[in-house]
A and B are shown apart, each in its own frame.
Chain A
Amino acid sequence: MKATRGIDYSSPIGDEVAHTTCYMCACRCGIKVHLKDSQLRYIEGNRDHPVNRGVLCAKGSAGIMNVLSPARLRKPLKRVGERGAGEFEEIEWEEALSIITERLANIRATDAKRFVFFTGRDQSQSLTGYFAQMFGSLNFAAHGGFCTVNMAAAGLYSVGGAFWEFGEPDWDYAKIFLLIGVAEDHDSNPIKLGLGKLKERGAKIIAVNPVRTGYGAIADEFIGITPGTDGLFVLALVHCLLDSGQIDTEFLVRYTNAHYLVIDAPGTAEHGLFARDESGAPLCLDRADGALKPASTIGADPVLLGSVTLLDGRAACPAFAILAERYLTPDCAPEAVAARCGIPAETIRRVAAELAEVAFNQPVTLNVPWTDTSGRRHETMQGRPVAMHAMRGISAHSNGFQTCRAIHMLQMLLGAVDTPGSWRYKSPYPKPIPAGPPPCGKTHLENGALAGSPLGFPRGPEDLLVDEAGEALRLDRAFSWDAPLGVHGLMHMAIAEAHAQDRYPIDTLMIYMANVAWNSAMNPGDAMRLLTDKNPDGSYRIPFFILADAFFSETVPYADIVLPDTTYLERYDCISLLDRPIGSAHGPADAIRIPVLKPDRDVRPFQDVLIDLAGRLKLPNFADAEGKPLYSSYADYMVRHQRKPGVGPLAGFRGADGDAIGKGEVNPDQLDRYIANGSFWRHHLPEDQLYYKHANQAYLQTAKAMGLIDCDTQITLQIYSETLQKFRLAAQGHGAHQPPERLRARLEKVMDPLPIWYEPVEATMVSREEYPLHALTQRPMAMYHSWGSQNAWLRQILSENRLYLNHETAAALGIADEDWVVVESRNGALTCQARLMEGVNPNTVWTWNAIGKRSGAWTLDKQAPEAERGFLLNHIISEYLPPDANGHRASNSDPITGQAAWFDLTVRVRKATDAEAGATFPHHEPLRAPFRVENPEHLQFGAKLETR
């Protein structure tokens, strides 16, 4: 093509291109960053990358504006005024690190748990958690406690995988897709790519969500469920399938524990546990010969209903019999739950019929022979093409763990786990149940470190981190009777509990990448108050607060020391199989970030800083016997650290020649090999390992050889959770490990070995007459899981939010579009503007989350729409429930996992008076950045590149 009228057809995009990993949200997509004259020109998706296959979302494409944001911190800061006043002096890194080293060394020498370390949207948890472990503090967690721990814990304790990070729908073969409680979130590009594939094939998409936006908008059917009732809906589907006999019994007996015999001896310490033989193997009853035998016996025809007499004379019945009896009751019928769910009974019955039709009359058969863990060869892979995905709308309720268990039960009954067309594990999952060792924190090794990771997987009450009185050892009460399966910790309680000093006083709180005084707090107003509260002697009640972040967020003014982080294009990072991998159903994968740009300010990657601190503190495995640091940087650690022999942060290109995968000795050239491969590694599983991974002999052997799992025996799916029953027995008074009296009744109720539904906890303590509406938040797609509504491009898409109400609801309240309204909850009131819509459950109001900014934060103009017309619903949520009869305030969380229950909120809405209208409330004092702000009047990004 000849150039005409100044059109340039032959200029390359830039003069340099680097492959790295996006960090504009949690998806970890592969990107190509084009530079021209060493400056950013263009970011696009990497077409070879397993996560995004070349596509890139709005956030990823706007990454340029994050990297160039005027809100970037420039230099370490030391507070010189009062907390919250925003008065800082810039200090050198050496001074900052010396202050912190001295303080932490003293804590470690005296009482290590007084160092509290919470990381937000941290993608380096295998390092940050290891730092806490080597430091010797059990008070570590990332942000999962207010994000998705209900999904992770319920999945890992039920099927050995989980929605989102540890599993995905089979986009290539699914014929019906149930998307439950997913608005625009978790995850971004992979779901969109998947929805596109489903649409191309004409598969049916059913969205179950109170709000119809985003993914729900293109669903073939939208079911506008009432918040918090998803469990009722799912159990009603289970009722229909059981009642019509449309379940996959062969799948149940081969791959789940449905046929395990459960001891029926009420009042005894073994009631509800599995009947076992002398070797401890769970038993079943074989119908072929009427004999009790190990439930794993190949070829047995196990009884699924009725009662059995055990050899010791006690009664027992198959787990499935308890299940069938429970969900066949009229209480679970669609007609019984329709009104509460806001879904007509006939809709529930039809959806059940559609699931059954697809599962049983339209199976997918792949002509791929495979061998199961029993050594049985199968000539084909047959699948139930019913796929499901669930997320925030389940997770953020206090009944979310059990609701998520109900969804996994539905999958198991349909035989739709890791089969063609169903939901599939993302390798390195499945993992055995539970997925890892129990949490550590009770004792220290001689070198001061904890014996293992502070986060782990309790197998029963004996693994809880509690004192003699049964009260929590951890500050956030994870792994105590308050949150027995709090496998991600309770970040939302960190500041409140650090202030309350209910367990013990802390010394230093270190926060990385979390806006804990704003949208990462359930109750920002209170968080600000607690961070600035003082003891009678004038000292701060939370003595020392270190914050590491790249931007001037609302939390910066509350820190004593601020460690400025780099942006994601200025650092090394690793997306490790040791914490949050990017594997897919097609095989395990991991990735790195590489520095594409050199920072133009005095900032350092937080992971480098942490490794520096670990060396200065001479922490085990970060310093050698002489106390010399072992690692010079994070990049060095990524290559040379070994968690177990041959297992390090990166699984690819290991061994002397770089050909070992998973396990292998350290390869000094490993990063170069990653870079040459587009900054990621993946292993393609052969086709006979792509499905039935929980019982696929070849897959499990491969996974073991690669170090992904320790054992290659079948992973039996736990439709009945004996682990939960152990906790329930304790609550009933059995065993040596007993809960505090105040928690006994609630634990007995919620620690049910089979999925249950209960009212969201807050709803039982707050008057529904007074607060009749549910209030939710969603994150807009262009900002989901992102840090950037200060982003110059993204804020042009959305810079202010509204409270959305159903037309009918609004009409009854006399509210019109754009009216100012007051939203009141038990925790307070806020003022904002309303917008009316059709696609929202009439009992629900909602808004976009984290659009509201505190005036002056993120170096936005003080009158920015984010501050004037944006608002946070968080201001009327609380991290605590109302006090009980004894004045005790429990955490506003799922009682099993400690997941922040911020979707349990109920409110009332009224039209604002003239005096109240005009600006959003609450409106906090404007913040002043700790550096000179020079916001440009215009941006002409790209112009200078053009003229050069």
Chain B
Amino acid sequence: MTSLPQPAPNAKKLGLVIDLDTCVGCHACAVNCKEWNTGGHSAPLPDHQPYGEEPDGVWFNRIHSFEAGCGSSSKTVNFPRSCLHCENPQCVTVCPTGASYKREEDGIVLVNADICIGCKLCSWACPYGAREFDELAGVMKKCTLCIDRIYNETLPEAEREPACVATCPSRARHFGDFNDPESKVSKLVAARGGVDLMPELGYKPVNKYLPPRKASIPTKPQEQGGGTGNALLRLLDKVLSR
């Protein structure tokens, strides 16, 4: 079994904020993630029967759209799902070889493919379904938080963010350090009531979700002339200047 590191002093807690109020469920993040990562740190993300009967493959980020509630109070929710880089990740602690690990410097949960034996214990342990098994390589893979982008010295500073965040067309995804109360992600969570997924399990996910909200416009009842146009007549009495 693998033990968790003590966070280093001044360690970062990197993760994502996903805004369910803004996510339109377009799959842009999922596909750009696939595209980046299939040639990235965990390359490749294989596809099976890509032109066949049961097309399937490895994706680090998947989008689920579902309806909650009934009738007029029902709501359609678009829900992106990927590794939450938990503070207390059982996917790490169950790993028999130390292949699954949590980085002390930033909290990112990774898999060392060189020593992964493909036993899949971690995928059983993860209640969020975030682990993806590469059957061809026989190793477990997962979201790396684009570790080969966020620290990539060859990229301009502004581009050092996960592919899913960079590409999100409705800007529903945000990346940053949750240990920094002044970071954008910390402020968003505070302002919008960001929530943990299934907090009762005690895994302490780092990624946070912002709940949907509803804007409204208070109005006074409109004058009803009953089609007489009296209000309109009053309006049209005013002098105009073309």
Contact = CB atoms under 8 A, between A and B. Distances in A.
B51 A935 contact: yes
Contacts, number: 327
Contacts of B242: 253-254, 259, 284, 296-302
Contacts of B10: none
B47 A217 contact: no
B76 A212 contact: yes
Interface stretch (B82-90, B123-131, B176-184, B226-234): B226-234
A394 B217 CA distance: 26
B22 A199 contact: yes
B24 A214 contact: yes
B78 A217 contact: yes
Contacts of A175: 217
Given A57-B26, A61-B31, A793-B31, A44 B166 contact: yes
B31 to A, nearest CB: 4
A797 B27 contact: yes
B201 interface: no
Interface string A335-366: 00000000000000110111011100000000
A254 B240 CA distance: 9
Nearest to B235: A245
B153 A9 contact: yes
A349 B222 contact: yes
Interface stretch (A270-278, A729-737, A914-922, A940-948): A940-948
Interface stretch (A190-198, A420-428, A813-821): A190-198
B24 A215 contact: yes
What's the dominant secondary structure at chain B's contact region? loop
Contacts of B75: 217
Nearest to B159: A47
Interface residues of A, number: 124
B134 to A, nearest CB: 9
Contact of A217 (B24, B59, B155): B24
Contacts of B38: 940-943
A243 B232 contact: yes
A529 B46 CA distance: 41
Contact of A196 (B67, B172, B226): B172
Contacts of A188: 26, 169
B212 A218 contact: yes
User: Which 3 residue pairs across A and B have the least CB separation, nearest first?
Assistant: A245-B231, A942-B39, A192-B169
Contact of A792 (B22, B25, B55, B69): B55
Contacts of A333: 227
Contacts of B67: 837-839
28 contacts: A1-B153, A11-B148, A45-B166, A55-B28, A56-B169, A61-B31, A61-B34, A62-B31, A175-B217, A192-B26, A199-B21, A199-B22, A213-B65, A214-B24, A218-B21, A218-B22, A243-B231, A245-B231, A250-B240, A298-B242, A305-B236, A349-B222, A353-B220, A353-B221, A782-B26, A839-B74, A938-B48, A939-B44
A807 B39 CA distance: 44
A205 B215 contact: yes
Given A218-B78, A781-B26, A795-B55, 7 more contacts: A58-B31, A193-B171, A300-B242, A324-B229, A357-B220, A865-B54, A937-B52
A10 B153 contact: yes
Nearest to B35: A61
A214 B25 contact: yes
Contact of B39 (A7, A324, A946): A946
Contacts of A822: none
A716 B147 CA distance: 56
Contacts of A253: 240, 242
Contacts of A228: none
A686 interface: no
A710 interface: no
Interface string A447-458: 000000000000
B170 A193 contact: yes
Given A61-B32, A330-B227, A939-B47, A247 B235 contact: yes
A58 B28 contact: yes
Contacts of B168: 55
Given A196-B170, A240-B222, A353-B219, A249 B240 contact: yes
A70 B51 contact: yes
Given A195-B170, A217-B77, A357-B219, A859 B25 contact: no
A350 B219 contact: yes
A409 B238 CA distance: 22
Interface in A263-315: 284, 287-288, 296-302, 304-305
Interface in B53-75: 53-57, 59, 65, 67, 69-71, 74-75
Given A218-B212, A324-B229, A940-B46, A244 B26 contact: no
B147 A7 contact: yes
Q: Which of B76, B78, B221 has the most CB of A within 10 A?
A: B76
A860 interface: yes
A782 B22 contact: no
B175 interface: no
Given A1-B151, A9-B148, A218-B212, A357 B217 contact: yes
Contacts of B55: 792, 795-796, 799, 865
A253 to B, nearest CB: 5
Interface string B139-177: 000000001100111110011000100111111100000
B157 to A, nearest CB: 12
Interface in B106-123: 110, 112, 114
A41 interface: yes
Contacts of A435: none
Interface string B9-50: 000000000010111111110111011111111011111111
Given A188-B169, A305-B236, A61 B28 contact: yes
A8 interface: yes
Contacts of B222: 240, 243-244, 246, 349, 352-353, 356
A353 B155 CA distance: 50
A243 B223 contact: yes
Interface string A861-872: 101110010000
B219 A354 contact: yes
Given A244-B231, A328-B227, A942-B45, A56 B32 contact: yes
A790 interface: yes
Contacts of A240: 222
B103 to A, nearest CB: 8
Contacts of B215: 202-205, 220
Contacts of A203: 215
Nearest to B158: A47
Interface string A818-860: 0000000000000000000111000000000000000000011
Contact of B46 (A54, A288, A939): A939
Contact of B154 (A11, A176, A946): A11
A796 B153 contact: no
A352 B223 CA distance: 11
B193 to A, nearest CB: 15
Nearest to B144: A7
Contacts of A57: 26, 28, 31, 167, 169
A57 B77 CA distance: 19
A865 B53 contact: yes
B53 A8 contact: no
Given A70-B51, A218-B212, A61 B167 contact: yes
Given A57-B28, A298-B242, A353-B222, A249 B35 contact: no
A214 B158 CA distance: 29
A545 interface: no
Contact of A941 (B44, B71, B220): B44
Interface string A27-69: 0000000001000011111010000101111111110100000
Interface in A719-740: none
B218 to A, nearest CB: 8
A217 B76 contact: yes
A288 B240 CA distance: 10
A212 B75 CA distance: 9
A610 interface: no
